Structure 1
Amino acid sequence: MRSETPTAATDDSAPGDGLVRAGAIVFIVGAVATLVTVAPLFLGSDPFPTVAYLVSMLMGVGFLIAGAGVFRSIAAQRRRARAVQAATVVPTGPSAS
């Protein structure tokens, strides 16, 4: 039995997919940084420097990037739907026979 693996030729990525993936990665980095900066509160150790808290802000930035990708994908789907609708519209006026 042969296993087929997807290739770049069969990859059907829509507009905005790259932004969603990048946003997810940035979000995860920010989430990990948030967990690391909150840990000293529970462990009773010294807090991290300000830079660690600034890296935590990447969580929100990643969310915004992913949201932009979703909106870009929505816009592309609407354009495709309008194009299909315009191509299939049948005139309903009086016919010229």
Structure 2
Amino acid sequence: MSSETPRAGDLLVRTGAVVFLVGAVATMATMAPLFLGADPLPPVAWFVCMLMGVGFLIAGAGVLRSIAEQRRQASGASSASQ
């Protein structure tokens, strides 16, 4: 366990990673029948694959939120020292 305090955006990045992994597994499961010569999965499975992009966007939003928070802290520290 880390002793580091969670920063703004950390939860979004973790959530985005989990959603991305769910989408990646769904993509592999959806593509497997195409290579194995089996019947393709229903369209619902193809829509679950879109979670890869959604997870990527969520994680990106978390990174941007973390950047914004760090900039706010840096500008606050520099204005306080002047």
Where does 1:7-86 land on structure 2 (aligned, <5 Å)? 10-86=3-79
Structure 1 unaligned segments of length 5 or more: list them.
Answer: 90-97
Structure 2 unaligned segments of length 5 or more: list them.
Answer: none
Say how many residue pairs are matched: 82
Q: Tell me which structure has the larger Cα radius of gyration.
A: 1
Identity of aligned residues (%): 62
- Runs (4+) of structure 1 exceeding 2 A deviation are none
Provide the C-alpha distance between the structure 2 equivalents of 1:33 and 1:39, rounded to a whole number of angstroms.
Answer: 10
Give the alignment's TM-score, normalised by structure 1: 0.81
Q: What CA deviation, in whole Å up to 9, does each residue of 1:30-74 have, x standing for no partner?
A: 000000000011100000000000000000000000000000000
Give the alignment's TM-score, normalised by structure 2: 0.96
RMSD after superposition? 1.0
Provide the C-alpha distance between the structure 2 equivalents of 1:48 and 1:42, rounded to a whole number of angstroms.
Answer: 12
Which structure has more helix as a fraction of its residues?
2
- Larger RCO: 1 or 2 (CA < 8 Å, sep 6+): 2
